[in-house]
A and B are shown apart, each in its own frame.
Chain A
Amino acid sequence: MEIDVDHLAKLSNLSLDQKQLKKAQNDLSKIISLINEMMIIDTSNVHPMAYPHDNHQRLREDVVTEIIDREEMQKSAPKQEQGYYLVPKVIE
């Protein structure tokens, strides 16, 4: 079964050339085969485990605790002007 690597690349915003696509296709097929083999164990009536422990979400008190230094936050910004982050114009 062919994995649509092109679609996956689009969803994850990666661009691969033909050669890379082919290799990714190959690699993914092997990985998925491995996964398929290993996961044939019976999991009927088993509840998925999304968290390693049984704790509940802790709630934070609703107070302002962050003092924001915009310049500090933006010191690694690739393109910034008048405090805005800039990206090529987006057409909706």
Chain B
Amino acid sequence: MSLKLSNNSVRSFSTIKDLQGLLRKKELSSKELVTSYLDKIQKEDDSINSFITIDREFSLKQAEDADTQIAKGVVTPMTGIPIAHKDIFCTKELQTTCGSRMLQNFMPPYDATVIAKLNNSGAVILGKTNMDEFAMGSSNETSFFGAVKNPWDLSRVPGGSSGGSAAAVAAGFAPAATGTDTGGSIRQPASFCGLTGLKPTYGSVSRYGMVAFASSLDQAGPICRNAEDASLLFNIMSGFDPMDSTSINSIDEVAKDFSSSQDETPQKITIGLPETYFENSESDIGLVEIRSQLEKLGHRIVDIELPNIKAAIAAYYVIASAEASTNLSRYDGVRFGYRCEKPQSIEDLYTRSRSEAFGAEVKRRILTGTYALSVGYFDEYYIKAQKVRRLISQDFKQAFNEVDLILTPTTPGTAFELNSLIEDPIKMYQQDLYTVPVNLAGLPAISIPCGFRAGMPIGAQFIAPAFRENTLLAISMKIQEITDFHQQLPAGFS
């Protein structure tokens, strides 16, 4: 993609790779680059509301430091490249709110491992992006800091819970952003906003310093303009972390450095389509397109069965809510976070602080989770859900005996209108139909743009066996070589 230096807006839709070139050739400095992004955000984010926190001075200082490194000849992939972080990652120098009143003004005394890794790679933090409160949501409408709009159509949602990250990248406010995915929160917003979003294998990216929603499902990952950038960021973000007991400790298992060689893909792969799973989906046109691209590339498409997949949402909601209900118990107004005014007793301190500071969706999930774990219901809900989880995981294992990848739409439809589903939790939960099974099984998956419907982006999802991110990224890159859906830009912002 060629860049016209005088055209600021074209530059702001640059990929990381493009920016690496610009910085290396010294066509502009990191400070200039970061300034131009910050200016764009200042000018245009009011209509999107993708950022919660911007600290211009802080970002420019990081950029200056990066420029010093570049002048010394330090050549690392991310030196001087700006990135936006979902406000779920603890950052020592920036407030970390998790989209909630509960953590408004919270200054963590440490950086999340993911943040530290990206800081060490020389990346410059543009700011903290908006998100559904405590990552609970599929539309970024539950944030205490207001809903986020989709740059493709401001009357529509960007998806959630990493809605701010996706909207920021889609609007050209950042070349890439970090997100987290518990039931689809990277993939679904990436799909709604025409971007590439990767949810890595559970355990491959450290969860230390990432505010916990559902501990056995959460994973951090990149939201980018293309798969090549996603690969670059994934390599930096992933890796064993001794601070996380669930972090994978095997070098063999972590994906190889993909950005250096694309020849790793087996020439012809078999892709499974679980047709019965999405017979009612509106996203079929996108899938038809991808199918034809894949066949053009010489890959084989076969029908597969995932017999227990329809129970995935139920199992997911039980498990996620159960884990979340206890992960959120630490928010009690005692050591940090929101405390109510003039508490009359310890009970009052707890109940009022929590009730005043948590939004409706968070409370709903806490109650659901408490229910699923409570005496008399534990076996019927929590244990049952974990059994369903095993069946779903086995379904995937079985399928991967026959195929290399699985293809599905990322979402049942394109971005829906703001305020259309927020009052109906059930309809909202069903947005995650295609994404949650992946989290239950701990597998990696990617969403890439594969078409448009009435001007709104459609995403296709590839799912791979554990630790096969390189296959996901390879196939995505190949498709992006011969299609240009990922290069389209939203009218209002380009």
Contacts and interface: CB of A to CB of B under 8 A. Distances in A.
A88 B344 contact: yes
Contact of A41 (B109, B337, B366, B388): B388
Given A34-B314, A49-B393, A78-B333, A14 B348 contact: no
Interface in A58-81: 58, 60, 69, 72-79
B10 interface: no
B391 interface: yes
Interface stretch (B153-161, B181-189, B241-249, B475-483): B241-249
A19 to B, nearest CB: 12
B225 interface: no
Interface in A3-62: 3, 5, 8-9, 11-16, 24, 27-28, 30-32, 34-39, 41, 43, 46-53, 55, 57-58, 60
Given A31-B425, A48-B383, A78-B337, 18 more contacts: A14-B355, A14-B358, A14-B366, A14-B367, A15-B355, A16-B355, A24-B367, A28-B367, A28-B368, A28-B371, A31-B429, A34-B313, A35-B314, A35-B318, A38-B314, A49-B387, A76-B107, A88-B344
A39 B384 contact: yes
Contacts of A50: 216, 386
B387 A47 contact: yes
Contact of B334 (A51, A73, A87): A87
B354 A78 contact: no
Contacts of B462: none
Interface in B277-330: 308, 310-311, 313-315, 317-318, 325, 329
A53 B202 contact: yes
Contacts of B429: 31, 34
Contacts of A47: 387, 390
Contact of A48 (B108, B337, B390): B390
B109 A73 contact: yes
Nearest to B250: A55
Given A14-B354, A41-B388, A49-B386, A60 B242 contact: yes
A37 B390 CA distance: 18
A24 B383 contact: no
Contact of B442 (A14, A52, A73): A52
Given A28-B364, A78-B337, A90-B346, A39 B351 contact: no
Chain B's interface size range is: 35 or more
Contacts of A12: 325, 329, 354, 366-367, 370
A85 B311 contact: no
A78 B391 contact: no
A87 B385 CA distance: 38
B339 A78 contact: yes
B203 A46 contact: no
A88 B335 contact: no
Interface string B216-257: 110000000000000000000000001001101100000000
Contacts of A69: 109
B133 interface: no
Given A27-B364, A78-B337, A52 B216 contact: yes
Contacts of B390: 46-49
Contacts of B345: 88
Interface in B341-393: 343-352, 354-355, 358, 363-364, 366-368, 370-371, 374, 381, 383-391, 393
Contacts of B248: 53, 55
A41 B308 contact: yes
Contacts of A89: 346
B264 to A, nearest CB: 23
Contacts of A36: 314
B371 A49 contact: no
Given A14-B358, A16-B363, A76-B337, A39 B315 contact: yes
B337 A43 contact: no
8 contacts: A31-B425, A38-B313, A41-B388, A43-B384, A48-B387, A51-B246, A52-B203, A75-B109
B89 to A, nearest CB: 16
Contact of A43 (B107, B352, B387, B426): B387
A90 B349 CA distance: 11
Contacts of B472: none
Contacts of A15: 351-352, 355
Contacts of B308: 41
A8 B370 contact: yes
Interface in B103-119: 105-109
B221 to A, nearest CB: 15
Contact of A55 (B203, B385, B387): B203
